[in-house]
Structure 1
Amino acid sequence: MLTHELRTRKECEDFVRGCTIMGTGGGGNPTQGLDKLTRALDEGLKIGWTDAKQIPDDVWVVCPFLMGSIAPKTPTGLAKMKDLGLTEVRYPNTIMAAIQELEIYTGKKIGAVIPGELGGSNTPEPVAQAARLSIPCIDGDYAGRAIPEITQMTPVLFNKPLAPLTSVDEWGNITIVKAAINEPMAERIGKFLAVAAHGLTGMAGVLLSGKECKEVLVAGTLSLCQKLGQTVKEARNRGIDVPIATAEAMAGWIIFKGKVTAKEWEDRVGYYWGTHTLTGIEEFSGQTFKVWFKNENHISWLNNKPFVMSPDLVCMVDRETGEPKTNDAVAEGDIMAVLGAQAPKPFLTQPKGLEVLGPRHFGFDYPFVPIQKLIG
């Protein structure tokens, strides 16, 4: 039933690379995502995805995802974890456990999986777990990029429920959220469970029929990630400018090139917040670029003026190799190219789109100006 299969480690690497690019600085740790895929491959499982059109309307589709901050652990945080007894990993596969707990609680047989977003681990994880469950993973997701809050998933734009939700952390704490009074409370509850666990939790929810799923997803995004990852590799092999080739493959633009000269960050209420400052190189020499992130990149400034912002994509890659970096991995001294691309359509066409992922949602009183108008 797979319409695309990942048969080798190299193909898995390409896929994870593309997912990380589309993760806009967040979306989870790509090393962990690759590990999940290659372990499944080594076990002889068939991993890949299936065109949404092949999914029956009457199957139950689950959305598994990781919840929490990717910020580095601090000595204070590690000490608190020890005091709480969070030292022995009991559930190395929290995503799988969350799916199983949701199936048990609802009594509904799950027939397909769809990622909640694109990112280095938050997309490969559902792909790998679908293979373990011997059910299809749909070629699509519920964001078309990475997002910091489940309130920003496309089902929310179409008034679909997020709950019931299940949460499992690696230490063995299991929680069932039977209901939430609204989407922000579902997000808040999930995040505080991750904060309590001092890390990421595996969650599962947004249980929809195949018909409903196909009405709200962003289609074809897993295939796009595979294409982007291959583009980076092939551009390097051919000796051509990798960021330019990548921008073309994602129908985007290079919006800046520069050296990271400052980074400020904090880990707060389950999110990784901060700002990168870049000083321009090449055609951007003499200019400055800043990008503010809440897990993912959301608001940028070119020469201190508001520039590309969510829901449009702001993606940072190594200037020479084209390898993407998550925000926790970006460091002062890095030489980066910044790519920009248009927002997934639901965020521009649905009434709630800009409300949940536009600049004002993040506390910035800026009008959203589409990237094509800024660049064009």
Structure 2
Amino acid sequence: MTQPNVTLTRTDSEDLARGACVLGVGGGGLPALGLELLYEDLTVGRTLNLIQVADIADDAMTCCAWGMGSIAPKDAAERERQLTDLGVPPDRTARHMARAIRELEAVTGRNVDVLIPFEPGGRVMPSVLSAASELGIAMSDGDYSGRAVPELNQIIPSIAGHSPCPAVAADQYGNVSCLLNSVSNPMAERIGKHLAMAAFGSVAMAGFLLTGREARELIVAGTVSRAISVGRAIREARKSSHDPVVAAARAVDGEIVFSGQLCRRDWTDDNGYMYGTMFLRDGAGKEMSIWFKNENHIANLDGTTIATSPDLISVVDGDTGEPYTNAHPEMKDGRHLAVIVSSAPERLTKADALKFHSPRWYGHDIEYAPFEFKKVSQ
């Protein structure tokens, strides 16, 4: 029997969304959207339960849940016009992740005992917790990547050879699709992204059904607790008039590598991903550029690469420490930002994982080298 260990409060939920956004390294969705679900759960009396990875029973049935799609901003008016032309009813739901899991249970005849987050992220990790709450089960205190990533084939079960199939996708309009089999995980990623594009941005997905024994070997343990700690550190620093950026860097055991103004962002929405580069400049004229594919992957300082995936490159508000995604509406020219680099989960630095996480995977002729910390922020 798999029993939860921890029940989260409203404040825990807020810390979780904030901290998971830091670990989301520019991707993972807007925290406000994930928090809205958790507030609703708490209001109607549901519990937000976590289970430690070590306590997941061998015979428990686990399911991975995630959001699939581009984080790029959309033209809402044009989307609504097309939805009307397609005959889509006006009703919407933000609770389509739970539906994806229920439909996967119906397709497979298996009952899910524990949800495993695909990745950290300000929207996605709270959304998985909310789905677990709605289903009356627990979410693991750990996820399958330890940082947000843009592709399904980059998470640890995929690297270890597991297929996500059967997998179910559900969107906010009520459409549900089941992928019974895929010839490869990159192909499953492609199919999922096209479902997301058909849904004008994103779908919720459920898949990677594994026993507790199998899942425990693949989860990056403690990432939910870590996210809560990071979010709490930022909140408490602000409350006590300490520097929240320094607090964030300390909480992730990272380093502040740049602080300056956002000069511009060049981006495009292409095949279900948000690609682009942001450019920052400080008062001394130093410049930083960060290349992203949904998430931040390469940081250059005055033209020299100083950090790359799988290390974490997080962008936060330079005054409040609040983390930003690359699609955040406040990411505007002139915004004071700080960049924090922290170490990748050890599993992602192994050779089989680096094949999918190094800059070369993204088409850049750069070798991954672990970031050299000076701990100047501490």
Query: What amino acid sits opposite 1:65 in the alignment?
Result: W
1:165 lines up with 2:174 in the alignment: no
1:372 lines up with 2:372 in the alignment: yes
Give CA deviations for 1:114-159 in whole Å, capped at 9, x if unaligned: 1000001110011111112111111000110111111111111211
8 Å Cα contact 2:297/2:313 also seen in 1: yes
1:107 lines up with 2:119 in the alignment: no
Q: How far 1:241 sits from its partner (Å)? A: 1.4
Match of 1:290 in 2: 289
1:333 lines up with 2:329 in the alignment: no
Give CA deviations for 1:232-264 in whole Å, capped at 9, x if unaligned: 011111211111111111111101111000111
Give CA deviations for 1:10-32 in whole Å, capped at 9, x if unaligned: 22211110011111011012111
Q: How far 1:374 sits from its partner (Å)? A: 8.5
Q: How far 1:91 sits from its partner (Å)? A: 4.1
SS across alignment from 1:175: strand
CA distance in 2, matches of 1:86, 1:141: 34
CA distance in 2, matches of 1:226, 1:91: 27
Q: How far 1:69 sits from its partner (Å)? A: 1.3
Q: How far 1:185 sits from its partner (Å)? A: 0.1
SS across alignment from 2:183: coil
Match of 1:186 in 2: 188
Query: What amino acid sits opposite 1:322 in the alignment?
Result: G
Q: Which residue of the other structure, out of 153, 156, 176, is the alignment partner of 2:155?
A: 153
Give CA deviations for 1:183-221 in whole Å, capped at 9, x if unaligned: 100100000000011121111001110011000010000
CA distance in 2, matches of 1:58, 1:93: 28
CA distance in 2, matches of 1:82, 1:357: 40
Higher mean alpha-carbon deviation, 351-360 vs 204-213, is at: 351-360
Give CA deviations for 1:252-281 in whole Å, capped at 9, x if unaligned: 110111100011111111111111100024
CA distance in 1, matches of 2:265, 2:365: 23
1:313 lines up with 2:304 in the alignment: no
Q: Report the aligned-residue RMSD.
A: 1.6
1:131 lines up with 2:139 in the alignment: no
Count of residue pairs brought into register by the alignment: 371
CA distance in 2, matches of 1:374, 1:158: 33
8 Å Cα contact 2:53/2:219 also seen in 1: no
8 Å Cα contact 2:254/2:375 also seen in 1: no
8 Å Cα contact 1:162/1:183 also seen in 2: yes
Match of 2:274 in 1: 272
Equivalent residue runs for 1:43-122 within 5 Å = 43-74=44-75, 76-86=78-88, 88-122=90-124
8 Å Cα contact 2:233/2:251 also seen in 1: yes
**Unmatched 5+ stretches in structure 2:** none
Higher mean alpha-carbon deviation, 68-77 vs 237-246, is at: 68-77
1:212 lines up with 2:214 in the alignment: yes
8 Å Cα contact 2:95/2:131 also seen in 1: no
Higher mean alpha-carbon deviation, 43-52 vs 90-99, is at: 90-99
CA distance in 2, matches of 1:56, 1:101: 23
CA distance in 2, matches of 1:6, 1:48: 6
Q: How far 1:87 sits from its partner (Å)? A: 5.4
CA distance in 2, matches of 1:205, 1:85: 29
8 Å Cα contact 1:307/1:374 also seen in 2: no
8 Å Cα contact 2:255/2:373 also seen in 1: no
Percent of pairs with identical residues: 38
SS across alignment from 2:138: coil
8 Å Cα contact 1:86/1:197 also seen in 2: no
